[in-house]
Amino acid sequence: MGEEMVRERDARAYEAVHDAADFTELKRRYKNFVVPWTIAFMAWYLAYVACNNWARGFMSHKIGGSHINVALVFGLLQFVSTFVIAALYGRFANRKLDPLAHGLNAKYKRERRR
């Protein structure tokens, strides 16, 4: 089979998947998860940065009389929130995205065989 025929077959298969309602739904679900969580995380991160710059008294406040202060706790919570969002995304993707993606992958493979 010539290279041009392979490209044409692959392009038709891609177009068939791209035009599928499941592909549109997959993109919609992905955006509906990613955009709000990205905004939330960026707001949280920028609040941390802003507090470190302009609320130094608050950030240097000791917690429980120890050497741990609010800034250290906020910094650690940045890591925690990153892992929590990643775990939530993993669960979301397994339940809501992967079934659609597997179906679209099967459709692509069928279309390529034509």
pLDDT in tens, 36-93: 999 999 999 999 999 999 999 999 999 987 899 999 999 999 999 999 999 999 999 9
Q: Measured between alpha carbons, how far is 53 from 45 in angstroms, rounded to an integer?
A: 13
| Residue 46 confidence (pLDDT) | 97
Least confident window among 35-39, 102-106, 108-112: 108-112
Q: Confidence class of residue 1 from pLDDT cuts 50, 70 and 90? A: low
Q: What's the whole-model pTM score?
A: 0.84
For the beta carbon of residue 17, count every other beta carbon within 10 angstroms: 20
Question: Cα–chain-centroid distance for residue 43?
Answer: 16
Q: Measured between alpha carbons, how far is 97 from 88 in angstroms, rounded to an integer?
A: 13
